[in-house]
Amino acid sequence: MQPTALRRLAAGIALGLALPLAAAAPRDDLLAAYAAAAKAANPAFAGFSAERGQTLHTRQFAGGKPDTPACTSCHGPDVRGPGRTPAGKAVEAMAVSVNPSRYADPAKVEKWFKRNCNEVLGRECTPQEKGDWLSFMSAR
Amino acid sequence: MTARTPFPPRRLARPLALALLVVGFSALLLGRAQAGGGHYYPPVADPVVREECGSCHLAFAPSMLPARSWQKMMGELQNHFGDDASVEPATARRIADYLVANAGDSAAGRPYAGKLLRGVPPEAAPQRISELPKWRKEHREVPDWEWRHKEVRTRANCLACHTAAERGYYDD
C-alpha cells in the first residue's frame, strides 16, 4: 500500500471513530441548556428523568387538539418504530438507538417542540419537560 | 423420425402466442400510460422546501397549484389547515420563491400542470389541490369508504393510492 493511501485510511478510521462522538455533542449541549433553563425556573431542579419523559410521551392530554391528544398519536406506540402523521406521512423512529442522527440540530428540535407541544398539550413545553423527554429518547 | 417428432411450428405455437400476448399487453399498458401522459408532476427538488413542506404530508408538487395559491398559503402559515406551520422568515421566503417559480401557471411549471388548473377562476387562489375541479373529476369514481379507510383517511394522502407520488407519478 502507498504511504498516502495508508494515511488516508488512518484518517478515515479516525473520522469514523470521531463521528459518533460528534453526533452526541449537540444533544448533550441541548440537555445542558435545558438543565440551565430548568434550574433558573426552579432552584430545586434535580436533573432530568427518562421515566418522567416516558410518561410525558405516552400521556393523554386534553388541552391540545382533539385528534392529537398524545405524542404517540403521530409518533406511534413504540419509540423504536415509525409513526404516522394525520396526513399519512411516515415519521421516523424517535429513539436515538435506532435513529442516531436525530437531535443533532438544536433549531430543528426547538421547532418541533414548539409546534408539537402546542398541538398536543395546548401550550409550550417547559425546559424540564423537554429535558425529561430528550433523556427518555436518548435512553431508548 | 420426422413422423414421430411434432412439426416444429406446432411446438412453437404456444410460446409464440404467449409472447404475442405479452407484447400486446405491454403495448396496451404503454398506450394507457401515454394517454394519461399529464400525470407527472415533478417532485420538490429543493432540499429545504422538501424538508419543511414534507415533514407532515407529502411535499406537494408546486405545479399542482397556481402561483397566487402558494403566495396566499405562505402568508398564512400560522394557520395552515388548522396547524401552526410557521417557519423562519428567511426559510419562508426561500420556500415561497421556489413554489411560485415552479407553480402550475409559471413558465417552469406550466408544461407539467396540464389540465389540472382548468376551470379555476382567475381571481380564485385555491388552497386544497383536492378542491380543483379537474382533481374532483379525476377522483369521482373513488367511493366514500375508500377515503375513510384507515390507510387513507384524508385526500391529502396521495401516497396511499399513488405509490410513486413522491417521485412525481400519479398514474392510477
Residue A18 domain flag: no
The pLDDT of residue A24: 73
Residue A14 domain flag: no
CB-defined contacts A:B, below 8 A: 36
Residue A30 domain flag: yes
Residue A65 domain flag: yes
Residue B159 domain flag: yes
The fraction of chain B above a pLDDT of 70, given in percent, is: 78
- Collapsing DSSP to helix, strand or coil, A58 comes out as helix
Residue A17 domain flag: no
Chain A interface residues facing chain B, Cβ-Cβ under 8 Å?
Answer: 65, 85-89, 111, 115, 118-119
List the domain range (segments joined by +) for residue A39: 26-139
pLDDT single digits (tens) B100-133? 999 999 999 999 999 999 999 999 999 999 999 9
Phi/psi at B78 (5° precision):
-65, -25
Tally of domains within chain B: 1
List the domain range (segments joined by +) for residue B119: 47-167
Residue B21 domain flag: no
Nearest to B84 among A85, A87, A115 (CB): A115
Contact between A88 and B82 using a beta-carbon 8 Å cutoff: no
The pLDDT of residue B171: 84
Which alpha helices (DSSP H) does chain A contain, by range? Answer: 3-41, 50-58, 72-75, 106-120, 127-139
Residue B80 domain flag: yes
For residue A14, pLDDT beyond 70:
no
The pLDDT of residue A56: 98
Interface mutation vs chain B, best among A110, A111, A112, A116, most B CBs within 10 Å: A111
DSSP string, B37-85: TT-B-PPP--HHHHHHHSSSS----GGGS-HHHHHHHHT-GGGBTTB--
Phi/psi at A69 (5° precision):
-75, -15
Contact between A119 and B83 using a beta-carbon 8 Å cutoff: yes
CA distances from A34 to A131, B88, B149 (A): 6, 22, 41
Q: Nearest-CA residue of chain B relative to A107? A: B88
Is residue B102 a contact partner of residue B42, using CB atoms and an 8 Å limit? yes
Q: Which region among A34-48, B32-46, B106-120 has the lowest average model confidence (pLDDT)?
A: B32-46
Residue A7 domain flag: no
A6: pLDDT confidence band, cut at 50, 70 and 90? low
Residue A2 domain flag: no
CATH number at residue A94: 1.10.760.10
B10: pLDDT confidence band, cut at 50, 70 and 90? low
- Region A76-87: mean pLDDT is 95
pLDDT single digits (tens) A43-71? 999 999 999 999 999 999 999 999 999 99
The pLDDT of residue B1: 47
Residue B163 domain flag: yes
Contact between B54 and A89 using a beta-carbon 8 Å cutoff: yes
Pairing of strands A83-84, A90-91: antiparallel
Spatial separation of the C-alpha atoms in residues A100 and A15, rounded to whole Å: 16
Tally of domains within chain A: 1
Taking contacts as CB-CB distances below 8 angstroms, the residues of chain B near A122 are none
Taking contacts as CB-CB distances below 8 angstroms, the residues of chain A near B80 are none
Contact between B156 and A88 using a beta-carbon 8 Å cutoff: yes
Q: How near does any CA of chain A get to the CA of B112, in Å?
A: 24
